[in-house]
Amino acid sequence: MPRTVVTGAAGFIGSHLSEALLDLGHSVVGIDNLLTGDMDNIAHLRDRDFAFIRHDVTRYIEVDGPVDFVLHWASPASPIDYLELPIQTLKVGSLGTHNVLGLAKAKHARFVTASTSEVYGDPLEHPQKETYWGNVNPIGPRGVYDEAKRFAEAMTMAYHRYHGVDTKIVRIFNTYGPRMRLRDGRAVPAFMSQALAGEDVTVFGNGTQTRSFCYISDLVDGILRLMVSDTNDPVNIGNPYEVTIEEIARTVIRLVGSKSRIVYKPLPEDDPKQRRPDITRARTLLHWEPKIELEDGLLRTVEYFKGKLKTT
């Protein structure tokens, strides 16, 4: 039975990854300091081969026994979080990544780290290939997240080249689905929570900026394929179907059946104007592409948020 450590296990993606690994027959050790994670996300895993350690990965990590895989998903990921927690975001991308890589090296484990499309910044290349170096403002308010992830990638490749650790880097594009927080700050949960409450739906900028939204089960499938692949180069995982932010807002309002109005507010500093992955590498190396249609995924997410609103 493979034994896998998942950092950020109580978060949105980390909890889905932990569950999928258990379904594959892995024994999972979840690590999270619960800064942005939620124990409710992993409560249903308690009766399975899942052990939870509350720990901050920016401090030394100790896990008893053998480990086969280490998946590093610890980090604030929402603009609301990393703008409020800039130092913690930088520390988990740097010190945290160093410590988790040290664990993988000590255990002779394969390492997978969660990077992000934010490493491309406000891209001058469209769609974004893994070979694109990005257009990032290192001293802007979003730079704490962008540069933390860029540093994490550099550290990961250094451990691969210098120490021979078998490392993988997944560049995650916008992902949505159950277990996101209602007031997460990212587009889909923000629009849904506002529409379900009958509030005005806030669109930043004029709404013409674009994103590409991938449903959580598709993302997890891509991550697991990358985990067992032979490649050590970064791989984009995301849905290449590109939509405007205004279109997403109107779709959410329609699916919810809300009478909410759209209101427009100034675009935050350095907010990317377009974002779409080139997934040629994922298709070629992993034989992966997304399967869940946008409206289907949004409907599943709406049902989850309806249930959450009833319990809050």
The CATH number of residue 276's host domain is 3.90.25.10
Asked if 84 and 170 sit in the same domain, the reply is yes
Q: For residue 35, what pLDDT is reported?
A: 96
Asked if 273 and 132 sit in the same domain, the reply is no
Q: What is the mean pLDDT of residues 159-185?
A: 94
Asked if 69 and 125 sit in the same domain, the reply is yes
Q: For residue 244, what pLDDT is reported?
A: 95
Asked if 69 and 146 sit in the same domain, the reply is yes
Q: What amino acid is encoded at 47 in this protein?
A: D
Residue 298: pLDDT over 80: yes
Domain boundary at 186, 203, 237, which?
A: 237
Asked if 167 and 22 sit in the same domain, the reply is yes
Asked if 184 and 90 sit in the same domain, the reply is no
Q: What is the mean pLDDT of residues 175-195?
A: 91
Residue 311: pLDDT over 80: no
Q: For residue 293, what pLDDT is reported?
A: 96
Asked if 28 and 146 sit in the same domain, the reply is yes
Q: What is the mean pLDDT of residues 200-205?
A: 92
Could you give the CA distance from residue 141 to residue 86 in angstroms, rounded to a whole number?
8
For residue 85, the SS3 value is coil
Cβ neighbour number for residue 24 with a 10 Å cutoff: 12
Question: Mean of the per-residue pLDDT values for the chain?
Answer: 95
Asked if 187 and 257 sit in the same domain, the reply is yes
- Residue-range definition of the domain harbouring residue 79: 3-175+214-237
Asked if 97 and 187 sit in the same domain, the reply is no
Burial of 38 (0-12, 13-18, 19+ CB in 10 A): middle
Question: Hey, which residues are catalytic here?
Answer: 145
End-to-end CA distance of the chain: 38
CATH number of 76's domain: 3.40.50.720
* Total structural domains within the chain: 2
Asked if 231 and 246 sit in the same domain, the reply is no
Asked if 38 and 117 sit in the same domain, the reply is yes
Question: What tokens appear for 248 in the block?
Answer: 């997403």
Asked if 20 and 59 sit in the same domain, the reply is yes
Residue 312: pLDDT over 70: no
Question: What tokens appear for 217 in the block?
Answer: 């089960």
